[in-house]
Amino acid sequence: MTEIALIGNPNSGKTSLFNLLTGTSQRVGNWPGVTVERKSGTVKKHSDWKVQDLPGIYSMSPYTPEEKVARDYLLSNHADSILNVVDATNLERNLYLTTQLIETGIPVTVALNMSDALKGQGKTINIDKLSYQLGVPVVSTSAVKNVGVEKAVKKAAHTTKETVDIIQYPTYSDKFEAAIKQIIDILGDIVPERSARFYAIKLFERDALVQNEVELSEFQKGEINEVIKITEEIFTEDSESIVINERYEFIERVAKMAQNQDSNFKMTISDKIDRVVTNRILALPIFAVVMFLVYYLSIQTVGTMWTDWVNDVLFGDLVPNWVQAGLDYLHVSGWLESLIIDGIVAGVGTVLGFLPQIFVLFICLGILEDIGYMSRIAFVMDRVFRRFGLSGKSFIPMLIATGCGVPAIMASRTIENERDRRITIMTATFMPCSAKLEIIALIAGAFFPDNPFVAPSTYFIGFLTIILSGIALKKTSFLGSYVSPFIMELPAYHMPKVWSVLRYAFGKAMSFVKRAGTIIFSLTVIIWFMSSYDFAFQAVDTEDSILAALGRAIAWIFQPLGFGDWKATVAAATGLAAKEAVVGTFGVLYNDSTTSGLYHALQLDYTSLAAYSFLTFNLLCAPCFAAMGAIKREMGDAKWTIGAIGFQTGLAYVVSLIIYQFGLVVFYGKGITFWTIVAVILLIAIIYFIVRKPRQVKEKVITLDNLEMAGE
């Protein structure tokens, strides 16, 4: 029986083609990852032709479980032939996988799918030229119209390892080819001759799975490592980037020869938009404007309108009066009345009062995600991150962190490089989550009501902190590593679906309400008790309470940051349990759930600069207990967990100190003090850790000529 491996990129039409060939019923969709397992079936009218439907993948580098499944199957020597489904409308991207498939040594037949859709864009592909350039048979197909499908599978069934003796591999630059040839010579007969080129390139990339799979002597490993190091010096790039660039240069030559564009060519709307929003110069300014508008709508305008009503009318007047009337009717004791009115209603009410702003924020983010803009930002950020030696895959957890830090930390599992994953875990929670949005709204509303830039600035502080701390961590000996490539699908733009956006926003809002009804409720009860009684459990004023005593004991720590009083200290401490509790704590301590009342009380105790320092500290410091638990699970090591939490809290303290001390000099005209000097020293230290050269082990360097002589 002839076994044909059916493989291609996600959304290339592979699943549809598989259904036509085998007659099986399988779900067909346009989202990446529809086929998550390998499926098989016999070709209709040809029971001796078996088709293995492999997962949709972008490359043979095992960065995902799907890619590992496909790679392991192809290298297991079961497949006689490969039928590679290529999306004609995205030729360059799809041919990246094709080059890798050819190098496995298994004969490849290309099914050029969606050629009809390409014609609609005013483009055509010369099948003969494409076949000649690739060195493999190419058949034009349309899975939607069932055109060319049978011809493609017949060609694949007759282009097998038994019928094809010589494989025409993709050719790269002379320098790179010389390096690959030397690695092939070093390998000798350790790997099959047909797939020797595949293994050589994978070893050059430092593919961990291949390194573990191929049994090499220490001498051979040393020789291969020398080839890699020398080639990296010649190209002044890391080995993985060299391979990626070589492949795309080859693909560019192939596409240029094979593609034709007629005079009626028209760019799609998505392409026209992408030329602007993903432009190297305009992309980041556009992103900044978009995020400014998101926070402006949610914090300054639309969200604030509803927040003022919920805080001042609903929880400031209606709910307290209703509850008070019920308590009077039941004749409850004074302490219980105080607990319910001054503790629960004031604390939970203050937290829930900012729910409208959170809801508006997630409507805005839901719209951006639904229309496809967030995918473009991930692409743009990959370009930015890689420039600084960071992984573009870290942006996805960052994006998720704007909702909640826990799933953001868990999302780091998609990052295969352990060091990149740890850096992401340590930095993702710097982004303002929905819980931190409460603190942002409180500080912005109380101290900067007419400044629309304060709320968005927290987003950019978090983003900038992630990049700069990532750069510094990457330069350490224990977290430095090569950057793994980030590949993702860019869907076409489309109008947002109202119900989809509302469902997304409601889901986030309900999650927030549940936390307010459980964690925040419990914390406000504890805060009320500790702020109402002394250590002898006697009812006292707040200033003489247990909470005040504990707060004053550690308040001095935050004195250089500008908020060294016990109330702010206690609020920051409760934020470790849940960030929403910061706002709830202020509501209980000031015994006021109305917006205007709480704003006025805060303005009496803190300056605008101290408030912004407090906001920055709570933005960057260790996340809530739930996120800390996620850090522990994902790190899998107590030392790394403690290190991550210590790093976050320490960095938050340092940044807040610098902001406050510099602010005193710049905005308040204060003189130079001891803490100003400390702030300058800390700033210099931060700059040093960012710009210093990464730690590297000195290694022996020899020339390629010397290596060739050593191998003779």
Annotated binding residue 12: yes
Contact call for residues 429 and 409 (beta carbons, < 8 A): yes
Q: Pick from 420, 359, 358, 366: which is nearest to 395 by CA? A: 420
Q: Tell whether 114 is in a known binding site.
A: yes
Plot region of 313 (φ>0 → left; ψ -120 to 50 → alpha; else → beta): alpha
36 labelled binding-site residue: yes
Would you say 54 is a known binding-site residue?
yes
Listed in sequence order, the residues at least 6 apart from 68 whose beta carbon sits closer than 8 Å to its beta carbon are 62, 209
* Chain centroid, CA 484 distance in Å: 13
Sign of CA dihedral 208, 210, 215, 221: negative
Q: Residues with Cβ < 8 Å from 573, sequence gap 6 or more? A: 551, 554
Q: Which residues pair with 7 in a beta bridge?
A: 84
Expressed in angstroms, the distance from the first to the final Cα of the chain is 44
| Residue 311 assigned as binding residue | no
347 is in an annotated binding site: no
476 is in an annotated binding site: no
**33 annotated as belonging to a binding site for a ligand:** yes
Annotated binding residue at 365? no
**Pairing relation of β-strands 2-8 and 46-53?**
parallel
Neighbours of 115 (CB within 10 A): 21
Give the list of residues 6+ apart from residue 477 with CB closer than 8 angstroms, or none: 695
Residue 14 labeled ligand binder:
yes
Rounded to whole angstroms, how far apart are CA atoms 44 and 18? 11
Query: Whose CA is closest to 587, among 359, 344, 355, 358?
Result: 344
Instruction: Render 225-288 in DSSP notation, one character per residue.
Output: HHHHHHHHHHHTS-HHHHHHHHHHHHHHHHHHHHEEE-TT----HHHHHHHHHT-TTTHHHHHH
Cα(226)–Cα(228) distance, rounded to whole angstroms? 5
Tell me whether residue 629 is annotated as binding: no
Report residue 310: phi and psi, to 5°: -65, -45
Using a 10 angstrom Cβ sphere, with 0-12 exposed, 13-18 middle and 19 or more buried, the burial of residue 219 is exposed
Task: Determine the Cα angle at 82 with ends 80 and 84, to 5°.
Answer: 175
Q: Is 53 annotated as a binding residue?
A: yes
**Residues near 503 by beta carbon (within 8 Å), at least 6 away in sequence:** none
Measured between alpha carbons, how far is 258 from 129 in angstroms, rounded to an integer?
5
Q: Is 19 labelled as part of a ligand binding site?
A: yes
Sorted by sequence, the CB contacts under 8 Å of residue 240 that are 6+ apart come out as 205, 206, 482, 483, 484, 485
How far is residue 369's CA from residue 375's CA, in Å, rounded to a whole number?
Answer: 7
Q: Is 116 annotated as a binding residue?
A: yes
Per the CB < 8 A criterion, the answer to whether 156 and 164 are in contact is: no
Task: Determine whether the annotation assigns residue 22 to a binding site.
Answer: yes
Residue 23 marked ligand-binding: yes
* Rounded-to-integer distance, Cα 438 and Cα 578, Å: 11
Angle among Cα 318, 323, 328 to the nearest 5 degrees reads 125
Q: Does residue 74 contact residue 55 with C-beta atoms inside 8 Å?
A: no
Give the residue numbers of the binding site. 8-15, 19, 22-23, 33-37, 53-56, 113-116
Give the residue numbers of the binding site for GTP. 8-15, 33-37, 53-56, 113-116
Give the residue numbers of the binding site for Mg(2+). 19, 22-23
